[in-house]
Structure 1
Amino acid sequence: MNRKLLSAVLLSTSILFSAGCGDDEEETESLDAEGCAHLQKGPSAPITATAAASGAPAVNTDHKRYDISLIDVTGGKGGSVTFAVAEEGDYLFFINEDVPMSIQTINGVAIQPEELVKSSTECSDIKGRYTVDLGVGTHVLTFGPTTKTSVSLVAEHGAHEHDHEH
């Protein structure tokens, strides 16, 4: 086999393997691109937030944009939706408005984001990207208070944990 061809094959193979592993900027950017595509193009599912977690509509990592109508809350507009986690790991929540969003377990324990970014170089529609490590169970996403009457949300599963040691 030609040495140059062999080198090119080996180089491209190592690039493919390294792209799938690690948590560098490129991985975040590609997640931003995917989140952005769903924010811009959908498909969309209209839902209305509720004042309490009980009976709140569910959002999922099903490649949909959830167009959430906010309701009257103390201080403006807001409300809650639920998010069920079947596989522990990092999740990303993209929103198209700069509105406050908090995350809790169904039992009311606050979960702090590992990272909160208010913009993206890849997509001007991203006004918030929350990266959160979530355990298995149901979580509550609460928006507001804000003057906005709605917010669009896309949920993505983040970098997958590897079962093997490097």
Structure 2
Amino acid sequence: MNKKLLAALLMSTALLTSACGDDEKDEAENVDVEGCEHLQKGPGVAVTATTSGTAPSVSNDHRRYDISLADGTGGRTGSVSFAAAEATDYVFFTSADVPLVVRNSSGAVVAIEESTSSSAQCADIKGRHVVPLTVGTHTLTFGPTSTATVSLVIEEASHEGHDHEE
């Protein structure tokens, strides 16, 4: 009887473990669908990135930010700022495969957890960067690149049942 109980317990654990993995995959796919929707449909806000001084701000407010990059060393470049309201992972979706560096308010580079130039959910996603951020203002620097404009959508990595503001 103990063998049957042990087997049942192991099977239950295996099912729970595999279900959790599926939930994480579904969550990532849902975030990609959300990011794609806003890359495609907006609403869009035009922003001009800066190479010095105060960077213009962007947000995770269900908008697409169409960021014009400036001429810089090695190509087009520029920075914008993002104020993270909570400490969590954020996903930065871009319409072009351009280099991205994220710095915290102290100027230290924040390590990107995951970075890819595509999404199985959406052909319009050319950059997908998952970054763990603390509460506070961060600087996002794009480039150098030959691309003059890059569109950006920011989503929290895990968000459930939010309302769109369009």
TM-score normalised by length of structure 2: 0.81
Q: By how many angstroms is 1:132 displaced?
A: 0.7
4+ aligned runs moved over 3 Å, structure 1: none
Q: By how many angstroms is 1:85 displaced?
A: 1.0
Where structure 2 has 5 or more consecutive residues not aligned to the other structure, the ranges are 1-18, 160-166
Q: Match for residue 46 of structure 2?
A: 46
Q: Match for residue 26 of structure 1?
A: 26
**1:30-61 Cα distance to aligned partner (Å, 9 max, x none):** 10000000000000000000003x31110101
- Following the alignment from structure 1 to structure 2, what is the Cα–Cα distance between the partners of residues 90 and 71? 28
Q: Match for residue 36 of structure 1?
A: 36
Q: By how many angstroms is 1:106 displaced?
A: 2.5
- Following the alignment from structure 1 to structure 2, what is the Cα–Cα distance between the partners of residues 23 and 159? 11
TM-score normalised by length of structure 1: 0.81
- Following the alignment from structure 2 to structure 1, what is the Cα–Cα distance between the partners of residues 124 and 30? 15
Task: Give 2:121's aligned amino acid.
Answer: E
Where structure 1 has 5 or more consecutive residues not aligned to the other structure, the ranges are 1-17, 161-166
Whether the aligned pair in 2 keeps the contact of 1:23 and 1:159 (CA below 8 Å) is no
Distance 1:26 1:69, change over 3 A: same
Alignment identity in percent? 52
State the aligned residue count. Answer: 141
Q: How does 1:69-148 map to 2 (within 5 A)?
A: 69-148=68-147
Kindly report the root-mean-square deviation, in angstroms, between the aligned alpha carbons of the 2 structures: 1.7
Q: By how many angstroms is 1:133 displaced?
A: 0.7
